């Protein structure tokens, strides 16, 4: 059984091996490099031979079969429904050699994952609130259009020249829509599980919960453990982070440790009042 499992994994990896730089997809998009590898898709940075502009082309993982194609087709539909200058713009959906592809505009910038873990950026309370307000504006637009993103993690939020951009709508769903069987869902800080029929429908509160985790990632970038704290000591984020009482309450409400916000507009009101506080570090 182990040998069969090994062969199965090897075959899947072989089928999903990224195409080489210079490969032309759809007789139009010249691959420069691979920029993302998710559970169900591979994303390439390409040059559009028709316009000369940079584009992102996402390929459904061949090893995942028809389900990956359906997910990618779903993402294409959502991008068409959410036209926004800070979201990837839908270009086209195409197939070739049995593979499915989604071409969209390439958004340049640094992800917060790169900034925090690669470039050692530090974010204090004021900067965290400023960034979160921008992100929330994008999420409010998404909610107003009737969708939830459901994957608001630091690898999916870009910044360029102080402006925030949002990518990867692969898990997005209509508000209230149940998750289909085997739909990939996130638990906590980004672990993936598999949805069942009993999994709750997509809700605005899920995005707000994600924003709470996003804020904690920003704030932990400036955290330095106390010198006398032992490695075995486990402390809550409330104890580890020296936050103002106001910001701590905001995050607790996002994480539903206190009375949660009624929606994204309710959260925005509190963020706007919070940004004027002089107590923020």
What pLDDT, in 10s, does the model give residues 237-267? 998 999 999 999 999 999 999 999 999 999 9
The maximal CA–CA distance of the chain, rounded, in angstroms, is 63
If we measure between CA atoms, which residue out of 227, 29, 280, 167 comes closest to residue 271?
A: 280
Do the annotations mark residue 58 as ligand-binding? yes
Mean pLDDT of 51-71: 93
- Domains delineated in the chain: 15-105 (3.30.200.20), 110-274 (1.10.510.10)
Residue with the larger pLDDT of the pair 32 and 12: 32
- pTM of this structure: 0.84
**What is the per-residue pLDDT across 13-47, written as a single tens digit (0 to 9) for each?**
547 888 999 999 999 999 999 998 888 899 999 99
Tens digit of each residue's pLDDT (9 = 90 or more) over 113-122 = 999 999 999 9
SS3 of residue 92 by DSSP: strand
Confidence of residue 277 (pLDDT cuts 50, 70, 90): low
SS3 call for 90: strand
pLDDT single digits (tens) 88-137: 999 999 999 889 999 999 999 999 999 999 999 999 999 999 999 999 99
More confident residue, 185 or 193: 185
Which pLDDT value is given to residue 229? 60
* Percent of the residues in the chain that have a pLDDT greater than 90, as a whole number: 70
Rounded Cα distance between 160 and 166, Å, is 11
CA distance 244 to 116: 22
Please give the Cα distance from 206 to 192 (Å, whole number).
Answer: 15
Q: Could you tell me if 46 and 23 are in contact, meaning their C-beta atoms sit under 8 angstroms apart?
A: no
- What's the pLDDT band for 6 if we cut at 50, 70, 90? very low
Alpha carbon of residue 175 to chain centroid: 17
């Amino acid at each position: 059984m182990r040998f069969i499992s090994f062969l199965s994994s090897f075959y899947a990896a072989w089928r999903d091996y990224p195409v080489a730089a210079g490969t032309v997809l759809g007789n139009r998009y010249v691959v420069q490099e691979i920029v993302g590898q998710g559970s169900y898709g591979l994303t390439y940075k390409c040059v559009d031979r028709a316009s000369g502009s940079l584009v992102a082309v996402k390929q459904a993982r061949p090893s995942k079969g028809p389900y990956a194609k359906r997910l990618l087709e779903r993402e294409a539909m959502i991008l068409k429904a959410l036209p926004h200058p800070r979201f990837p713009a839908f270009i086209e959906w195409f197939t070739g050699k049995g593979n499915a592809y989604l071409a969209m505009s390439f958004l340049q910038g640094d992800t917060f994952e790169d900034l925090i873990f690669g470039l050692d950026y530090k974010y204090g309370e004021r900067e965290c609130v400023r960034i979160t307000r921008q992100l929330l504006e994008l999420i409010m637009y998404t909610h107003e259009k009737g969708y939830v993103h459901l994957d608001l993690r630091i690898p999916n939020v870009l910044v360029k020249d102080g402006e925030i951009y949002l990518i990867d709508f692969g898990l997005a769903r209509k508000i209230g829509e149940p998750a289909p069987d085997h739909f990939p869902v996130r638990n906590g800080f980004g672990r993936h599980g598999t949805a069942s029929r009993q999994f709750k429908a997509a809700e605005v509160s899920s995005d707000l919960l994600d924003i709470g985790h996003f804020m904690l990632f920003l704030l932990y970038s400036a955290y330095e453990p106390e010198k006398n704290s032992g490695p075995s000591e486990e402390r809550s984020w409330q104890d580890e982070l020296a936050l103002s009482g106001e910001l701590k309450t905001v995050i607790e409400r996002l994480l539903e440790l206190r009375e949660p916000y009624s929606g994204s507009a309710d959260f925005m009101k509190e963020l706007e009042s919070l940004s004027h506080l002089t107590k923020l570090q």
